[in-house]
Amino acid sequence: MNVLVLGGYGAVGAEIVAELRDSGDTVLAAGRDPARADRVVDVTDLAGYRDALSTVDVVVNACGAEDLALAEIAGEQGAAFVDITATSSYVEELERLEPRAPVLLSVGLAPGLTNLLAAEVHASAPGPVDIVILLGAGEAHGDAAVRWAYGLLGKPLTDPEGGRIRNYTKGKRFELPGFGRRTVYRADYSDQHALTRDLGVPVRSYFGTDSRLATAGLAALTWLPALGGIASKVHPPGSDRWLILARGQDGTTRHAHGRGQSHGTAVITAAAVRAVRDLEPGTHHLHRVLSLADLPAGRGVDLSD
């Protein structure tokens, strides 16, 4: 396939480009910098973006831009659209589109791998599911990912059973393989909303990092969100290890782990790109398209019970 990756030379985008090329696809890294881009694309210039889609089969949005027109124009040009966003409000807007080509959401580690783990747990033990997202604080995350995480400070999310709660509150302790008992906090990842609707049970997402200090810092800063801009400039201690876990009400658990959030996101995204061209026009979520069994072995996403 011919794939255009928006933000294709960024922290996540470059990993996606490499993973797709390893699979044999023809991939163009797109962005505004002609020194780093295979195809120069400014996503604020929609006419130029449209022109860039000639001969493209799939567009992957890894640049952090949340503009419905990117998906709409891709569909008009006959290209499928894959978005790695975790923003709940943007996902809801994309779900209301009537695109002319397939749009695939819930792609990456969280959402994405979280959806697949939660769906498998629910299939084995029907009932509410808790999702834990533990990311490596020491990894050099891209600017868009950092802005997103700190942008949740002080903002509310809707609980699946009603009510509004503040991000990075409602701490809960989990036994996390390889990390021990950790307190993690509610965060407004889009996976929990799509899964609550599709599985018909409450699904809640919890977030933390491998650094206890950094995790506690987010929980404190959510009451002082004005300091988030300063805190986001400080690189906390930690590693590049990540863990994604889904646990059912009866204790049934599945988890996955690896090193490098960007690489893990790329592995899931490459699997999504391979699947999207066979979908019908419309908006889809990864847990309705793939299962854990469809993920490639030996690529750095290790699955465990």
Instruction: Tell me: do 227 and 138 sit in the same domain.
Output: yes
Instruction: Tell me: do 67 and 169 sit in the same domain.
Output: no
Residue pair 106/82 in contact (Cβ under 8 Å)? The answer is no
pLDDT at position 35 is 97
Q: Which candidate, 40, 113, 90, 259, places its Cα nearest to that of 81? A: 90
pLDDT, average across residues 37-59 = 97
- Report pLDDT digits (tens) over 122-168: 999 999 999 999 999 988 888 888 889 999 999 999 999 889 999 99
Rounded CA-CA distance 71/17 in Å is 19
For the chain, give the mean pLDDT.
96
pLDDT at position 237 is 82
304: pLDDT confidence band, cut at 50, 70 and 90?
A: confident
| SS3 state of residue 195 | helix
Q: Which candidate, 302, 10, 300, places its Cα nearest to that of 141? A: 10
- Report pLDDT digits (tens) over 205-263: 999 999 999 999 999 999 999 988 888 888 778 999 999 999 999 999 999 999 999 99
pLDDT at position 141 is 80
Instruction: Tell me: do 59 and 144 sit in the same domain.
Output: no
Q: Facing residues of 176 across strands?
A: 180
Instruction: Tell me: do 33 and 148 sit in the same domain.
Output: no
CATH code of the domain containing 227: 3.30.360.10
Q: Which domain holds residue 42?
A: 2-107+264-304
Q: Which carries the bigger pLDDT value, residue 303 or residue 304? A: 303
Instruction: Tell me: do 87 and 121 sit in the same domain.
Output: no
Tally of domains in the chain: 2
Instruction: Tell me: do 114 and 233 sit in the same domain.
Output: yes
Instruction: Tell me: do 90 and 123 sit in the same domain.
Output: no
Identify the H or E element spanning 191. Answer: helix 191-199
CATH code of the domain containing 300: 3.40.50.720
pLDDT at position 294 is 96
Instruction: Tell me: do 88 and 190 sit in the same domain.
Output: no
Instruction: Tell me: do 147 and 33 sit in the same domain.
Output: no
Rounded CA-CA distance 200/107 in Å is 21
* pTM for the full predicted model: 0.96
With a pLDDT cut of 70, the percent of the chain lying above it is 100
